A and B are shown apart, each in its own frame.
Chain A
Amino acid sequence: MNILIPHHWLLEHLETKATPEQIRKQLSLAGPSVERIQEKEGETVYDIEVTTNRVDSMSVRGIAREAAVILDHAKIPAQLKPLHLMKFSQLQPTTTQLLPLPKISHQLAAVKRITTVVLSQIKPTATPEWMAKRLRQIDQNVHWAAIDITNYVTHELGHPCHAFDYDKMMNLGGKIIIDIAKKNESFTTLDGERYTTVGGEVIFRAQDGTIIDLPAIKGTLNTAVDQNTKNILFWIENLDAKKVRFSSMTHDIRTVAAELNERNVDPHLAEPTFSFALKLYQQIIGAKIASNLYDYFPHPQSMKTITVPLAVFQRYLGFSLDQKIIISILTKLGCKVTQEKQQLLISPPTYRQDLAIPVDFVEEVARIYGYHNIPNKIMGGTLPLKRPDDAYFDLEEKIKNFLSLVGLQEVYTYSLVSEKQALKSGYQLKDHLKLANPLTEDKVYLRRSLLPSLNQVIAENPTSTDLELFEVAKIYRPTGQETQLPQEQMKLAFSFRSNYRRARGIIEGLLDYLFVEDYQFITNKNNTQAEIIAFKKQKHHSLGIINASNITLPASSIGLINAELDLNSLSQVAQSQPHYQPLAKTMPLIEDLTFEIAKNTKIGDLIAAIKQTSPLIHQVELKDVYQQRYSFRLTYLDPQNNLAAPDIMPIRQKIVHRVKQRFPAELVGKV
């Protein structure tokens, strides 16, 4: 939550000579963070972030109270000024023409306090310029005095309050029933918006059941103050914070009042806020107090006492802080502190509901003492050694480094995809995890494949004609089991704007680099894709699929090579070092053979056929392709004896014969 505080308004509660820059710095270091200082209508205005647990600081006085302690501790003299407001016990009607209070029925446990009084002689008075200026400075709209006073006092002292049109209220039956809404009741807020209840909201009803207020959040039109209002029912309620939040979130009515009330604003704050508002109504509008005060406050919060062992301070701070300093800081923050041997009995003020457990007091002492006064130190002690089994971060880093160095570009694409992209994965929509509350249409489903996203990147960079991309990221698979988390699998995906041989070569190079010892690319029957399979210890591991796809650009369509590998499977066959083979004592013999091969022949099968011809054929590589002529480089190796040219002659003859028999292929030249 942020609050705007004009400097001069702050000084009405804070006695100090500190400059705005000093206040900004010291508050940010030890209390609420001043995010920026603005100049508005010739004055400094602080924009302050107040954390959600510190609703007590959501007012001019709340910030002044913090600033007084913080500045003083930083040796910049500062003091919180006393409030001079009438106590409830002193409050009396100021007119003899008394008006009856409506009958209030409050059976609910959710009601913590209700305070109200009737104000008469309300005239349509313009908001005085000094107040209007401050409201503008804090980005609030200026209406007229009868309304603006409520906003002004809330901002200054921190408890939301409301003004009803008293006569409208009495014409509706003169009764306020505090109740829980049923489903499908309707109400219209004072800005004319119509709502229907879902059931469970705390509401105020008139005698006939009509909803006449959405308390602690926003007033309704049927009881709203307007230019014709003659009498006001000035009102403060304090309700159960959870109830307030429920209504406010359900209907998305996020007002200042709701934000304060849903965070347990201190009901004791009702008294000064109420008195201050009455003072302003009388001064500015000339209103009269026309009834006795109604104050329903069944359970005033007494100060709770928390036992805090002194050792807890050392436990968190790492050093022993003088007890006098601890007690002095807590006392300045409004706590009552007594020492009992080695522990403190601390009663925080009612507005500090956030102080509940011993470590909360450590925070208070440490921040005021100054976090910069605590030394920096790296911990010693035992190191944890148990690593997660499935994390393979080293493998991931190795893969990424290799791929980038051989010319590929790494990308990070969104895990969330559109319906169209989701379908491109080959899985139906029902086999995807879907967001219940997507922000944009292009990010609705959690993806099953990285490839549609990668191909999209290629389409979005049409001028990079040699783009080769990879990404390492998760895919998400619903398990269909209510009690199981979806499966998340790490994938390594490729999209190449280059040819199949280059793409496959990159993957083969990677597998070699990772010391995957035995792998094959196995083409499917329809010849639409190949499965990459690795073998280790007689087990086969499917690493993934390589295939082709097309993307359409405005001017053309381009073919891509895609591959997606499973990182977990890869981790099963990758090794951090090879199995060392003793160096051969004999020399290999190398020769090239060129075949004229008919179209649509599977070259991979042909290579395998050559290789199987003799155990002396150590390696067969495809060296060159020219039209239908394919040159293979053969390496012959006999681990026992050095081969000479005559030794390989019969093998060569066998190869040529075998190839000719099995494939439509003919050797170029003579055997």
Chain B
Amino acid sequence: MTIDQFNQQAKVVLNQFAADLTGGQIDQTRYFGKKGLFTQLAKQIQQLPSEKRGQAGKLLNQIKRDLTKNIAATAPLNQATQQSIDFSLPGNKPKVGHLHPITQAINQISRIFERIGFIRVRYPEVDWDWYVFESLNMPPNHPARDEWETFFIDRPDTTGNVAYDPKQLTKRHPKMIDGGKLVLTTHTSNGQVREMERLGKPPIRMINIARCYRRQQDATHTQMFHQFEGLVIDKGITIQHLKGTLDYFAKEFYGPKAKSRIRPFHFRFTEPSFEVDFSCHICHGTGFVNGQKCKLCKSGWHEVGGAGMVHPNVLKAGGIDPDQYTGFAFGWGVERTYTLREGLNIDDIRHFYNNKVKFLEQF
């Protein structure tokens, strides 16, 4: 054996040791036991020419010192073995990125509804007019559609091929007609009839969270936004269940003191229809803070979205018998729901999509 070969073998042991070090505590016997790696290396010295043994011995001593010291350091932290530490030193933080606030909101919302048996689904964002409006009891050209500020896809409209008949809604189903109008979904409610079709029959407990699009843009509206839609259909579903679910969500999402309430409203696809309010976290629904009008809500409540009992025509459009089943649905903006949380008084929802790093890094 030459001294070079001996050195090469020593290097193998040291590399092995370096690798072991990354794995935490090292057993002494792995190196110094009877068949230990160091012990075996040390035995090789006998095969060297005698004039080289002194050089090899020095190297072995050096390696032994290093191994012993480093093996001790891998033992569980023991104050006695630690050298003095400067506890005033700043930490060396790992680089951590951030989930977008909308993702954080969606995760929390999903979890809350999944706990009471809702199944999350995903449906098209570019969908037939039929699912977005018509099956939801909104005939073509109905004034109720005005509020939706709809984007249309540039392509021929063939919806007119079958005449609209409110009693035979399914006759105009896209499967029956040649395509039809394509729209960007203005709300997640296109998932309602789609979910009825997917499951075939109740029970249905759906939560549909998706990007939506409307033709408007200002401090409180972006052309793209997110909604979440709940749909429950079964035998014996009443307004009490809708109210119970809304209140459960309010308390889970905003804290145990939060309250919800419903007020009359009108949507074509629910009857009765409601507007949903959550109590303000600043004044807890009273509208007053220390005798002064609450500056955040001005009335004690924040309007967050719409809800209602599924209209019999919508059940029919989804192939469900309205004489047997009832259901409720609700749909709100994710951005608005999220910014009503304590400490998130974001005055301009465009921040969510401008992607300024200074904004995103806060979440």
- A residues touching B (Cβ–Cβ < 8 Å)? 28-33, 51-54, 242, 245-246, 249, 262-263, 315-319, 357, 359-360, 362-363, 366-367, 371-372, 374-379, 381-384, 386-388, 390-391, 393, 397, 400-401, 403-416, 433-440, 443, 446, 457, 460-461, 464, 466-468, 473-474, 476, 482-483, 485-486, 488, 589-592, 633, 635, 644-645, 648, 670
Contacts and interface: CB of A to CB of B under 8 A. Distances in A.
B245 interface: yes
Given A52-B146, A359-B309, A406-B97, 15 more contacts: A32-B264, A33-B265, A263-B143, A317-B239, A379-B244, A381-B236, A384-B119, A386-B199, A388-B121, A436-B155, A438-B151, A483-B179, A485-B128, A591-B15, A633-B15
A446 B96 contact: no
B117 interface: yes
B361 interface: yes
For the complex of A and B, the 9 pairs showing the least CB-CB separation, nearest first, are A318-B238, A51-B266, A363-B272, A407-B95, A436-B154, A383-B117, A318-B240, A376-B244, A408-B97
Given A377-B241, A378-B248, A411 B355 contact: yes
A434 B153 contact: yes
Contact of B265 (A51, A400, A467): A51
Contacts of B141: 242, 245-246, 249
B124 A590 contact: no
Given A318-B238, A411-B360, A375 B265 contact: no
Contacts of B184: 435, 446
Q: Classify the interface of chain B: helix, strand, loop or mixed.
A: mixed
Contacts of B199: 384, 386
B243 A376 contact: yes
Contact of B203 (A381, A457, A474, A590): A381
Contacts of A435: 151-154, 184
Contacts of A28: 263
Given A245-B143, A644-B40, A416 B213 contact: yes
A318 B232 contact: no
A393 B110 contact: yes
Interface stretch (B52-60, B62-70, B80-88, B99-107): B99-107
Interface stretch (B4-12, B71-79, B340-348): B4-12
B4 A434 contact: no
A148 B145 CA distance: 31
Nearest to B177: A483
Q: What bracket does the count of chain B residues touching chain A fall in?
A: 35 or more
A415 B224 contact: yes
Given A384-B203, A412-B102, A435-B152, A33 B15 contact: no
Contacts of A54: 266
B7 to A, nearest CB: 10
Contacts of A387: 119
B274 interface: yes
B171 interface: no
17 contacts: A51-B264, A315-B326, A317-B240, A367-B272, A371-B262, A383-B117, A384-B119, A388-B122, A393-B120, A412-B353, A461-B357, A482-B158, A483-B178, A486-B126, A488-B125, A633-B15, A648-B12
Contacts of A391: 120-122
B163 interface: no
